[in-house]
Structure 1
């Protein structure tokens, strides 16, 4: 019956017949008769057919609960337009009499399912405009959040009392900011919600309604009260139960992200945004809006009058100056360009060009066009502080910010893109913006949007996306550098195509300054005849034919006389072969001569860099801006960048998270390597930057492992039985990372400490069926997950190779230990070499309190008095053992012709052992010797305390720096740290040997 209302296309009728049969199998006879009576109305019948065919979500809800469909039809709410007040009123009616958290959660999910059917039904049947659909979704999120807030606020007041501000004495309320599309009332039909929680003042709770003679009840700080309230709101909305979820809640836009407090008071919020707020946070904050508020205005227990200005209004007044500057602010363009460049890189790397949100000419580009004008001029022109895109576009066109007609075209494109997004998401209630791949799904999508075929929809989409991108390029994108077709480049085309005789080709190369012309000619011939090039499609071959003359011309310009151009060409051609199936990278280099010049320069300087680019061509994006390439970001900027890149990824998407972390490392290590090979950064700064990158990534990996663990097993409990909010987990770095001397290919020597309460276990997750775990097991598994995230080989390789052999008892020891057990081991069981290793150990990521405890343990161990003769014997024996196994072997003549910078006599390890011996020998007299973990500063301390002369110290430091610099240089040349033949380090080796002999006798 229903099938007659849909076209006989792509099995639509067959699918609908199956749906009708499945519904009837679940429905009673009375329900079937009731539905038949409704379907006598052709309009309703058509709507039901389109709703079921356009949304599996609606059909499954109706099939699983046949009575729900009849209730909706009878209530006529499918035909009604609702206001925010209607959502609130209807939800409160459903929640009447609810007393328990579980009851509230069930009601919220039932209401959400019913509301989603109504919203999607109206959307697929074109009964609601785009504005109504997004407003309905936003109102649903707001009403659910408000109800959860009010319910849990009242429950916490009964338990802890009313939160009172220290300064005002007023009852405090929780303000919930909706960010992104929720803040703009533009929420899509299957979206998560970005929230920020805040309250006005610090203080304590009070029980103002204790009955006479009643016992005093427990109180707590306002921070703890609102932190608990925030957690309960999130659980009521986000937890996946039998009834599903209400909204996925993302709190990562709050100050300091995941490492920040869940809730902050207004003063702390204002200070953060004034002193530490980033440009991308300005961009995010222009969408912020108060979507829920609980406190004096809603708390039925309060007898105080409602304040004239709500807390939410007060907060927005405090935050407005952060987003909107009083002057015209053109710096916003660069910030948005950077964000779009990062998104483009993600789209390009993941191959999600069909994404109607993030892809070419997508929703995000329309939003960026609008927001750049908001950030630049919104402080002066308050009309631009409007949050909704479709309200702003006409205004921008009217005031001349956009060319005549451009605003109309963008609005039209935006509407189509958002309708497509809703049709994609409404089908299965999934958060995706990617166009389907299956032909049947494409036809269904087109039919839902009232197109005759997918081809006609695809043509419309392409036209609109091209218009959006053209406007985006005009408004926000960096103008591409003009590239002239010059004769110098064109002259190499016949050479590359093999159209010249060998004699003419060699003559051309020699005229352009090439040496070894015959060798270069053979390299080009080999490339042309390689399988990768022969298998290219015509478009890819055309791109290659445009690129190669540019490459050959660039190679001939500004060369270092000592440069082996044949070797450089070979390295670049390795990259060309690796991108033979992804020739968009050749377009990038062809159209960006600056990037091509940087590629040639870096490949000439380092085969290691060339290898990295060949293995991971997405890194070529980093060459586009030579300013950022040779100016690595500060630690704070790195942290900010990492946070931005991870914000878009769900915690449960481990594979995508791992790829994002690996790309972050590769891109930033490339910048450091570029600076090093071009002498733009000294050695010590190189190690500082590489160490910063590793530490920030470790912090993110800890957070990722923590989130995944608590999602399965709940939170560990402390000794009082309360849930722990942050992981009591510490990562110690030994060796190079501990000594802040990390190299480009260094592994990480790590030790894990946990502070979990003994005898306690995690809270467990009833909804997932996962059992709780003993705290020790929890942190052991968390440590295993950290190692897995770091060590696993993905498409982008390892994040870092992790070595855990320095933990107590080595490979036979526990993976994670307590600080007390760690201290006991060092006191009673550790060998001298383990205490030597402790000299270069420091806390590099994790819990700050545990880090302070470790610092105390380390200081105590290193500062213990020792019998110097026995210590010296242990150190010398260990050094001899290492030389026997790791240093250069062979005859004296052979040893004289080879020098292992690290292991041979007079090398790096000799210096390190002297330093470690000095700390263990004299730190009990001079505790400052145990303050640092890097050899340079410890050597300085040995000089200051009189154990080394100024001259000897200077010589050791210079030798140490020279060795390390040579080691870095060799690593970037893909060579081992072994020098052959007569070396330049004879003087340094003799100095180190002399001081070794002298230094190790000082205790006598």
Structure 2
């Protein structure tokens, strides 16, 4: 057998090409390979854009690798990492990740490796990456004299630091696009009185390691790294002393943490110290007596996962979560780990880290029938293969089946079977796993009295395992609060909805008693939480993730008068001025914005403001954020590249932001205009020519607003309203902007300018931009083609974005976008500088473009649609549906719109939007003549 066929001779299967054209291109690119290899590559490329890209990028290496046995190819990749210096480690690891990802995928898809070898290869790379990062980074700390008493030789054991691989990495079972779960510890006994200084060094190492592995660069990433399985992750540092971790587990460790440590394994750094630490945890993980309470705890966990993720619906292929859904991977893992916890304390043979190995051990010891263990093993392997195909399509860490038949067909073909057979087989496996595992869990009954329904009792039982109820003091405080909370929840319009939302809030709270102390001292907060839970699940979820906002709620300013955009901008600017570094400024801006955003939502929800005041406040808040962040971004950019050339730039708010009215879910439409005057470039440490300077400055602003950080992101940003849209530069010079608007812009771009408003930047440039805007509207509005262009645009919009039904407030004839289009048309035709819809419609009436009746009809429909849209975005991310909104949500919408029932509201919406649509259709169809009160021109 020649070495060239070492891989090819082991092929046993291959996918079915889902995209024949992509498959053909790849086959042609690799036509020099043996036919069976070219066929595998082609079929794979026809199912996975990600793998197709890897093949093209690593084509030279791949040709050589496929001449070897895959084990040899893998070893070669991993061994080459050992010689990498710290400076080259990030690039080298990313190259290795690309190659190992490609090799394992092909070995998996071709049936060359079984599941255990596929997941094992991915885990080997993760182990090597973590170990090298720790040792190289600790060596650097030693070199810089930052690790007290350490010598260069101590780098071989990472100075006593160890990373524990948890979850699938610990078991050697990493999935194809898996995160890696790590717990980082250090042996404090090596440092004595210098342990605090040592901890600071190890914290730096942990953060740098996470960045080396997780950061996305032009070369990709290595592994997304998750450190949240460490003790009390919400409040503890990312690297702990072993003594502190041991103390935590001895005092407050919970069942899920015991289950997590079944798979724990030292994977990098001081392996011996890590193993010693795990030995000390044996009494915590493995109880000496048979531990049947683990069954209840595991069942509670299953219920919470299903309830929180909405996974209790009917079993269907589309959208099914292969990990957490009914009959999924987690069901088998829970089933297995729970049995291990019950009996593993007495029988070390049951402590296998792997799922398949543990099932075999349980069967061998009589804890499982052998046929059940064999069947679950087969289903587990099949589930994991489907999981891998889902992730191989685009290297996404997903477990959800596609939501479309086309997407499901792609996965079926990736599995090498036709869609109908794949569907039938998958549903049968899921149902069978559900049947085998569900009967094992027998939930107990909560001791809350007969007034609780079974459903309520099950939810309340699960509260005992939440982080916020970890300590005895928290439990005692909550016991005093619970009757009042349950009473208020029972009195909600829909008690089940309110309970589910409150459960989500409670689950998201961190450990500690502060929130319960607040509730005891401020009973009105309980009413507020229940009100939010019963009405707006979105606000409840936000509150769960940001419980610290309760401090703002009890502060005196929460219910005071709205301060306005300028006062808010000044407040944020003052806060940011006190922050020492750029990232902390951005994170604090996020925290500040979210508190105010939550305040607006609560005021709207509780009737302290209406949709129009809330819309103004959301816009004021966004304007304040842009105003306060712009100089921060500018200063950071100038530090590297010098002051902005010429007069600098201004940031324009477009669309709803420019008009000063946003809703709870709005993104920001922005454009940037700059004037370099006679300056060709900046004069900083790294000077830039004017055009790239402002382009990169604009990107820095967008990143400052959109980047996900510890406190989340500020806003999504849309810059498509700039000249030439996506094809144009992200920042536009004043001269180019003026020239484009005068000579090239389409009518829709002139319509967009009717709502443009400078938010931040040089005052002189801002005045010039505004003067140009007004002059341009006067010049372009009377054009003969305007109404025809708008009418054509309206038809395209309605074809592209039709109404989603009666309750759609935004899209469709006579609804928000349609009315806004007509209002902008009125402002453009008359050259009026008004930006708000009402003012633009009034300008149209005043100038004779609209009659009084037409203006009245447009405003009536607009006001109702805005109230619906603003209310909908506060309650849900989708279209309003009274049938699923819940009683609390429906009551809010009816109060906001002044209607007695959803039937009456629907009838009114239908009538008003029909009238508005008729006005718009008539107005755009009658050249430039005004629409009369009787519909005649």
Structure-2 separation of matches of 1:99 and 1:691: 55
* CA drift at 1:10: 8.1
Contact kept? 1:198, 1:263, Cα under 8 Å: yes
* CA drift at 1:284: 1.6
Q: Look up the match of 2:252.
A: 276
* CA drift at 1:179: 0.9
Structure-1 separation of matches of 2:326 and 2:337: 18
Q: 1:196 to 1:684 in 2, by over 3 A?
A: closer
Q: Look up the match of 1:955.
A: none
* CA drift at 1:272: 0.5
* CA drift at 1:180: 0.7
Q: Look up the match of 1:195.
A: 182
SS of 1:54's partner is coil
* CA drift at 1:761: 4.8
1:414-470: CA deviation from partner (whole Å, max 9, x where unpaired) = 11111111111112111111122343433332233232x222122222222222111
Structure-1 separation of matches of 2:196 and 2:521: 47
* CA drift at 1:365: 0.6
Contact kept? 2:146, 2:201, Cα under 8 Å: no
Contact kept? 1:283, 1:323, Cα under 8 Å: yes
Q: Look up the match of 2:165.
A: 178
Q: 1:319 to 1:664 in 2, by over 3 A?
A: farther
Q: Look up the match of 2:71.
A: 81
SS of 1:93's partner is helix
| Matching residue within 423, 426, 433 for 1:458 | 423
Q: Look up the match of 1:478.
A: 443
Q: Look up the match of 2:379.
A: 413
SS of 2:362's partner is helix
* CA drift at 1:53: 2.2
1:763-785: CA deviation from partner (whole Å, max 9, x where unpaired) = 55xxxxxxxxxx66763443013
Structure-2 separation of matches of 1:458 and 1:140: 33
* CA drift at 1:628: 6.8
* CA drift at 1:18: 4.5
Contact kept? 2:166, 2:182, Cα under 8 Å: yes
1:150 aligns with 2:152: no
* CA drift at 1:790: 6.4
Q: Look up the match of 1:332.
A: 294
Q: 1:54 to 1:250 in 2, by over 3 A?
A: same
Structure-1 separation of matches of 2:529 and 2:472: 7
| Matching residue within 209, 212, 234 for 1:236 | 212
| Matching residue within 274, 279, 292 for 1:317 | 279
* CA drift at 1:113: 0.7
| Matching residue within 568, 576, 581 for 1:762 | 581
Q: Look up the match of 2:594.
A: 785
* CA drift at 1:95: 6.0
1:218-257: CA deviation from partner (whole Å, max 9, x where unpaired) = x981110110111111010011112221111111111111
Q: Look up the match of 1:469.
A: 434
| Matching residue within 20, 31, 40 for 1:36 | 31
| Matching residue within 533, 544, 554 for 1:734 | 554
1:622 aligns with 2:456: yes
Q: What TM-score does the superposition give when structure 2 sets the normalisation length?
A: 0.51
SS of 2:439's partner is helix
Q: Look up the match of 1:828.
A: none
* CA drift at 1:283: 1.8
Q: Look up the match of 1:354.
A: 320
* CA drift at 1:798: 9.7
Task: Please list, as runs of the form range in 1=range in 2, the aligned pairs for 1:619-768 lying within 5 A after superposition.
Answer: 621-624=455-458, 635-636=469-470, 666-667=502-503, 687=523, 690=526, 731=551, 734=554, 761-763=580-582
| Matching residue within 342, 346, 349 for 2:304 | 342
* CA drift at 1:17: 2.4
Structure-2 separation of matches of 1:171 and 1:349: 43
Structure-2 separation of matches of 1:667 and 1:427: 35
Q: Look up the match of 1:365.
A: 331
1:497-534: CA deviation from partner (whole Å, max 9, x where unpaired) = xxxxxxxxxxxxxxxxxxxxxxxxxxxxxxxxxxxxxx
Contact kept? 2:363, 2:370, Cα under 8 Å: yes
| Matching residue within 96, 101, 125 for 1:116 | 101
Structure-2 separation of matches of 1:799 and 1:473: 45
* CA drift at 1:787: 3.1
Structure-1 separation of matches of 2:334 and 2:464: 28
1:167-199: CA deviation from partner (whole Å, max 9, x where unpaired) = xx9994111011111111111001111111001
Structure-2 separation of matches of 1:280 and 1:376: 13
Q: Look up the match of 1:227.
A: 203
Structure-2 separation of matches of 1:186 and 1:233: 22
1:354-384: CA deviation from partner (whole Å, max 9, x where unpaired) = 1111111111110011011111111111111
1:561-592: CA deviation from partner (whole Å, max 9, x where unpaired) = xxxxxxxxxxxxxxxxxxxxxxxxxxxxxxx9
Contact kept? 1:324, 1:378, Cα under 8 Å: yes
Structure-2 separation of matches of 1:684 and 1:282: 32
* CA drift at 1:702: 9.9
Structure-1 separation of matches of 2:236 and 2:415: 43
1:293 aligns with 2:266: no
Task: Please list, as runs of the form range in 1=range in 2, the aligned pairs for 1:805-820 lying within 5 A after superposition.
Answer: none
1:395 aligns with 2:361: yes
| Matching residue within 38, 45, 50 for 1:52 | 45
Q: Look up the match of 1:839.
A: none
Contact kept? 2:21, 2:46, Cα under 8 Å: no
Q: 1:685 to 1:438 in 2, by over 3 A?
A: same
* CA drift at 1:814: 9.8
SS of 1:252's partner is coil
SS of 1:194's partner is strand
* CA drift at 1:474: 2.2
Contact kept? 1:752, 1:783, Cα under 8 Å: no
Q: 1:206 to 1:237 in 2, by over 3 A?
A: farther
Contact kept? 1:622, 1:667, Cα under 8 Å: no
Q: 1:662 to 1:250 in 2, by over 3 A?
A: farther
Q: 1:91 to 1:777 in 2, by over 3 A?
A: closer
* CA drift at 1:7: 11
SS of 2:53's partner is helix
Structure-1 separation of matches of 2:15 and 2:347: 54
Query: Which ranges of structure 2 fall in alignment gaps of 5 or more residues?
Result: 1-11, 476-496, 508-518, 560-569, 615-619, 629-709, 712-887, 893-937
| Cα RMSD, aligned residues only | 5.5
SS of 1:70's partner is helix
1:846-865: CA deviation from partner (whole Å, max 9, x where unpaired) = 99xxxxxxxxxxxxxxxxxx
* CA drift at 1:347: 3.6
Q: Which has the higher contact order (CA 8 A, sep 6+)?
A: 2
* CA drift at 1:759: 6.8
Task: Please list, as runs of the form range in 1=range in 2, the aligned pairs for 1:920-935 lying within 5 A after superposition.
Answer: none
Q: What TM-score does the superposition give when structure 1 sets the normalisation length?
A: 0.48
Q: 1:332 to 1:778 in 2, by over 3 A?
A: closer
Q: 1:171 to 1:394 in 2, by over 3 A?
A: closer
* CA drift at 1:115: 0.9
Q: 1:19 to 1:274 in 2, by over 3 A?
A: same
Q: Look up the match of 2:90.
A: 105
Max Rg structure: 1
Task: Please list, as runs of the form range in 1=range in 2, the aligned pairs for 1:837-852 lying within 5 A after superposition.
Answer: none
SS of 2:398's partner is coil
SS of 2:162's partner is strand
Contact kept? 1:285, 1:323, Cα under 8 Å: yes
Contact kept? 2:322, 2:328, Cα under 8 Å: yes
Q: 1:625 to 1:221 in 2, by over 3 A?
A: closer
SS of 1:257's partner is coil
